Amino acid sequence: MKLYTGPLSLFSAKVRIALAEKAIVPDEHVSVGWSLADRYLPHHPDVVRLNPRRKVPVLVDGDVVIWESTVICEYLEETRPEPPLLPRTPAERARCRTLEAFADEVFFAPLWDLIEESMYPAAEAGRDTKRLDAARARIDELHAELDGELSGREYLCDVYSVADIANLIMLTAAARMGAAPDPGRQHLTAWLGRVAARPAVARELDAMQRFAASRLSDVA
Ligand SMILES: N[C@@H](CCC(=O)N[C@@H](CS)C(=O)NCC(=O)O)C(=O)O
């Protein structure tokens, strides 16, 4: 098995955590180049060859090539089911897939605005403060939504799952850019602590934090 990921790529982090939870160590792990100035350019030549979208993560398992983090996690679940990262019942599995999509599509949208406006260097016209404020306000609304989903629950579904991993990664990135949940969102705050304490998650968060600290110190 060969895995291509990006050091600060949130979708890559989801896959790295899923692999670690399943104690799967790829035979080869390629961390593609990334910089604040050039982002992922030039794309890694293998990624260009393997993925028409030129994005990471990409997983190669024998003859099988998969890109899209959600599809990679589904493939891992089907080929290496233990320990499971999807609930058992159809209803909870549907909930899990919906909440994973919430992280990747709904939460990621304002998070991307935050990343572009506070992590990447400012455009010549300066920071778009309206975009930043709107992103923070939207993230707060989405925190409230997740807090409600977690009411009376230890995890987002009836077991720890890829929905927890996907959301934890997005929320941690937002928190590191100044958009942490209000501590009054008790269910969300308790869940964040619970999921971040898992060894596979803690190791990934630590590695991303150390990489970020080494590369982002000069952000204006
Ligand atoms: N929907 C894709 C998103 C993958 C994605 O956006 N990857 C980014 C890094 S987080 C990337 O490789 N970008 C390279 C580029 O756009 O040049 C997934 O879930 O895997």
Of the candidates 52, 79, 106, which is a domain's last residue? 79
Are 134 and 113 spatial neighbours (Cβ–Cβ below 8 Å)? yes
Q: Which residues contact 166 (CB under 8 A, 6 or more apart)?
A: 14, 69, 99, 100, 103, 104
Query: Which of ligand 1's atoms lies nearest the C-alpha of 47?
Result: 12
Whether pLDDT at 210 is above 90: yes
Angle at 212 between CA 97 and CA 171, to 5 degrees: 30
Q: Indicate whether 65 and 151 sit together in one domain.
A: no
Largest CA distance in the chain: 52
How much is the pLDDT for 121? 87
Q: Indicate whether 44 and 18 sit together in one domain.
A: yes
Whether pLDDT at 219 is above 70: no
Q: Indicate whether 107 and 208 sit together in one domain.
A: yes
Q: Is residue 102 part of a domain?
A: yes
Nearest residue (CA) to ligand 1, atom 13? 55
Whether pLDDT at 77 is above 60: yes
Q: Indicate whether 111 and 32 sit together in one domain.
A: no
Q: Indicate whether 122 and 38 sit together in one domain.
A: no
Query: Given ligand 1 and candidates 56, 67, 107, 116, which is best to mutate, with the most ligand atoms within 8 Å of its CB?
Result: 56
Whether pLDDT at 20 is above 90: yes
> Left, alpha or beta for 68 (phi > 0: left; psi -120 to 50: alpha)?
left
Ligand 1 lined by 56 (C-beta under 6 Å): yes
Whether pLDDT at 218 is above 60: no
Q: Indicate whether 101 and 186 sit together in one domain.
A: yes
Q: Is residue 220 part of a domain?
A: no
- For all residues of the chain together, what is the average pLDDT? 96
Q: Read off the CATH number of the domain in which 135 is found.
A: 1.20.1050.10
Q: What is the DSSP letter of 37?
A: T
Q: Is residue 85 part of a domain?
A: no
Q: Indicate whether 51 and 160 sit together in one domain.
A: no
Q: Is residue 84 part of a domain?
A: no
Distance 33 CA to ligand 1 centre (A): 13
Query: Which of ligand 1's atoms lies nearest the C-alpha of 39?
Result: 17
Q: How confident is the model at residue 55 (pLDDT cuts 50, 70, 90)?
A: very high
Tokens of 35: 């910089």
Cis peptide before 57 (omega within 30 of 0): yes
* Selected residue with higher pLDDT from 131 and 124: 131
Ligand 1 lined by 165 (C-beta under 6 Å): no
Q: Indicate whether 72 and 32 sit together in one domain.
A: yes
Average pLDDT for 46-75: 98
Whether pLDDT at 112 is above 90: yes
Q: Indicate whether 48 and 138 sit together in one domain.
A: no
The residues that bridge with 3 in the sheet, in sequence order, are 29, 59
Q: Read off the CATH number of the domain in which 9 is found.
A: 3.40.30.10
How much is the pLDDT for 87? 98
Q: How confident is the model at residue 217 (pLDDT cuts 50, 70, 90)?
A: low
* Selected residue with higher pLDDT from 126 and 101: 101
How much is the pLDDT for 122? 87
Quick: pLDDT tens for 162-206: 999 999 999 999 999 999 999 999 999 999 999 999 999 999 999
Query: Which of ligand 1's atoms lies nearest the C-alpha of 12?
Result: 10
Give pTM, 2 decimals: 0.97
Of the candidates 79, 106, 136, which is a domain's last residue? 79
Q: Indicate whether 51 and 14 sit together in one domain.
A: yes
Are 210 and 168 spatial neighbours (Cβ–Cβ below 8 Å)? no
- Number of domain units in the chain: 2
Average pLDDT for 34-61: 97
Average pLDDT for 74-98: 98
Whether pLDDT at 220 is above 50: no
Ligand 1 lined by 11 (C-beta under 6 Å): yes
Distance 5 CA to ligand 1 centre (A): 9
Q: Indicate whether 41 and 149 sit together in one domain.
A: no
Q: Indicate whether 65 and 131 sit together in one domain.
A: no
What length is written for the chain? Answer: 220
What CA–CA distance (Å, rounded) separates 191 from 8? 23
Of the candidates 34, 53, 79, which is a domain's last residue? 79
Range of the domain at 181: 90-215
What CA–CA distance (Å, rounded) separates 177 from 157? 27
What CA–CA distance (Å, rounded) separates 208 from 210? 5
